[in-house]
A = this chain, B = another copy of it.
């Protein structure tokens, strides 16, 4: 079935306006801006992430998963602030290889995750681009005034927690690049899925308001992101490698090649929550995590000083410094 190509207004009307149908403030995506009615007593939280084809996702990734990942990395940021998701805007610069089938799949992925996570599209911009497809979501959530979780509020003696398992994002990317071929097929598939489809942890993030002192999501890598908490809080952190929660696939990868520990603690794209909280809150945290069905693990402690130290089971430092992913290096 061939049909006339759609211009930007046609694309917006067909694929994106349905994503905004439940939000009256979106004005049907036909106006110069969108309207948000703030809830009394709450602050808005704004976060934004850009993904570029070939950099943040693979050009042959299924388009629905690209859409879902784009939304989820932003939902992950809202979670790290303790915020409830409300709305998002979407900027799409589609490269020459993108056709309407790709856009339809992309929009279907967004639609599925909107329903799953309770967030609506309210605005955006759609342009043609003579280069790799470049996608931006700006997500807006809300949090009780003065209660947002920040990176800078960790205190000495806080326990350091992570949700889920660590390292699967980086190992999943390795699998998709054809590495780790000694792994069982089921593990390879599970790791690739973790890279393609992060699980935003905002349901727990919202529950950590009032309990956690500091929080961040693991996007640059465990050590780099814990390093961000250390820097902004003016503290150090001590992590026991043996307590870092690993998926079955990551455990197998580590048996095959122990040097993969570096990419487990140094790689990014896990989108798990990393947070610090006083020892006295341990029972409450475990209870709320169970209620959300999100596993949490204490992996270390905030210390006076600076920098992140990771020690093995014998207490020996694992590496002086593993830095996370940085653009422009």
Query: Please, which residues of chain B bring their CB within 8 A of the CB of A320?
Result: none
Distance in angstroms between the alpha carbons of A301 and B91 in the assembled complex = 34
Given contacts A44-B36, A122-B46, A129-B131, A31 and B81 within 8 Å (CB-CB): yes
- Contact between A32 and B80, CB atoms less than 8 A apart: yes
| Number of chain copies forming the complex | 2
Give bound CA distance, A125 to B91, whole Å. 13
A3 to chain B, nearest CB (A): 13
Given A131-B131, A134-B93, also A46-B140 (CB < 8 A): yes
Whether the pair B43, A35 counts as a contact (CB closer than 8 A) is yes
Contact of A327 among B123, B128, B143 (CB under 8 A): B128
Cβ of A102 < 8 Å from any Cβ of B?
no
Interface residues on A, range: 35 or more
A120: Cβ under 8 A from any B Cβ: no
Assembled-state Cα–Cα distance A328/B231 (Å): 45
- Asked whether A54 is an interface residue with its Cβ less than 8 Å from the other chain, the reply is yes
Known A8-B327, A27-B150, A138-B89; contact A81-B125, beta-carbon cutoff 8 A: no
Residues 17-35 (chain A) with a chain B CB within 8 angstroms: 25, 27-28, 30-35
- Rounded to whole angstroms, the CA-CA distance of A7 and B328 in the bound complex is 5
| Residues from chain B with Cβ under 8 Å of A128 in the complex | 55, 327-328
Query: Of residues 226 to 272 in A, which have CB atoms within 8 Å of B's CB atoms?
Result: 228, 231-232
Most chain B CB inside 10 Å of its own CB: which residue of A38, A42, A87, A95: A38
> A177 contacts the other chain (Cβ, under 8 Å)?
no
Chain B residues contacting A5 (CB-CB under 8 Å) are 328-329
12 cross-chain CB contacts under 8 A = A30-B228, A31-B232, A35-B43, A37-B43, A38-B42, A44-B44, A48-B125, A50-B127, A52-B130, A91-B91, A125-B136, A128-B327
Beyond the given pairs A5-B329, A25-B43, A33-B46, 19 more chain A to chain B contacts, judged by CB atoms under 8 angstroms and listed by A's residue number, are: A7-B328, A7-B329, A8-B326, A8-B328, A9-B326, A31-B152, A32-B77, A33-B148, A34-B45, A35-B43, A35-B45, A38-B38, A48-B124, A52-B131, A55-B129, A91-B136, A94-B328, A128-B327, A130-B132
5 shortest interchain CB distances as A-B pairs: A131-B131, A38-B38, A33-B47, A7-B326, A32-B80
Point out residues on A near B: beta carbons under 8 Å.
5-9, 11, 25, 27-28, 30-38, 40, 42-50, 52, 54-56, 77-78, 80-81, 83, 87, 89, 91, 93-95, 122-132, 134, 136, 138, 140-141, 143, 145, 148, 150-152, 215-217, 228, 231-232, 326-329
